[in-house]
Amino acid sequence: MLKIMSYIQLLRVHHYIKNIIIFIPLFFTMQIINVPLLRNAGLGFLIFSLLASIIYIFNDLRDIEKDRQHNSKCRRPLASGEIPVLHAILIMIILAVLLITLIVLLIILIDNLLIIFSLLLLYFSLNIGYSLGLKNFPIVDITILTSGYIIRLLFGAVLVGSNVSVWLYLVIIMGAYYLVLGKRKNEIASNENGTREVINFYNHDFLDKNMYVCQALCIIFYALWSFDSETIERFQTSAFIYTIPLIFLIFLKYSLNIEKIAEGDPVSVLLKDRILLLLVGIYVICAFCIIYFNRIVL
């Protein structure tokens, strides 16, 4: 059982939750029960999950010596020696074969080779570049991490043939910057031995100020999206206006949490807090009712 958990940790399975962003365009285009589109989004989710795991393993292989000197990363499967390097390489090859197979299947299904390939190549190139050294450049590092959220959103839009609202696009950008800046803020405390070079360029004041600028902008852009005439016309209601306080509460709870959690990883922060999970769940239920209730009744 422990060995299985080590392999799951190597793949960073819990980080797959980030790929839910791929379903956002499907959700907001009122097509969540459209089976062909749901299938496409599901394939996209699997593709990004495999691609992310390959990149995580590659990064762990490169940083294995640094991770052994880190307070918490030393417990990772490769750094701790629980999984041999050869096994990790073989897993990467298997994942790559599965990834190529799913990409070919997706291209056959939606016949949009250029955009699909471009987005996946962009995500892969940016993250490999990050692993090879771009993560050591301040601002560049957080921008690359933020771009992963945006690429997922655009990829999801391509899969369902939908255009992403400008306001929603800005919400994701500012929200992603907020999450990444928060992660960097917490990493300062766990970088006592200097294993993360880029952390030395940041300080709490800089990260705090910019985090909360991004938070404010994210809430403002969400409010503008909910007020937008196109949004009201699409959903035949202005009810999203009433979810703004809930969004604010989610940010408040998340901000409180990252003051206490050592590394501030967004997925860990979310999964370790039942109240935060409950707030997010309530928002999803409210959004679903606003978007789909009238359609179901009719």
Q: Is residue 184 part of a domain?
A: yes
Indicate the number of domains in the chain.
1
In-domain check, residue 181: yes
pLDDT of residue 163: 83
* pLDDT for res 296: 45
Q: What is the pLDDT of residue 211?
A: 93
| Nearest residue to 284 (alpha-carbon basis) of 23, 44, 13 | 23
Q: Note whether residue 222 is domain-resident.
A: yes
User: At a CB cut-off of 8 Å and minimum separation 6, what does 181 contact?
Assistant: 142, 207, 210, 211, 214
- Residue 295 domain-assigned? yes
pLDDT confidence of residue 20: 92
199 domain residue, yes or no: yes
Q: Which residue shows structure tokens 């990834």?
A: 99
* Residue 139 falls inside a structural domain: no
Parent domain of 175: 165-298
Report pLDDT for 298: 39
pLDDT for res 213: 95
Q: Going residue by residue through the chain (298 aa), what tens digit of pLDDT does each one get?
A: 556 777 677 777 877 888 999 999 999 888 888 888 999 999 999 999 999 999 998 988 887 877 777 666 777 777 777 788 888 889 999 999 999 999 988 888 887 778 888 999 999 999 999 988 898 899 999 999 999 999 999 999 999 888 888 999 999 999 999 999 988 888 886 665 556 678 888 888 899 999 999 999 999 999 999 999 999 988 888 999 999 999 999 999 998 888 776 566 788 888 888 999 999 999 999 999 999 876 544 3
pLDDT recorded at residue 264: 64
Q: Is residue 78 assigned to a domain?
A: no
- Residue 215 exposed, middle or buried by CB count within 10 Å (0-12, 13-18, 19+): buried
CA distance linking residue 24 with residue 41, whole number of Å: 10
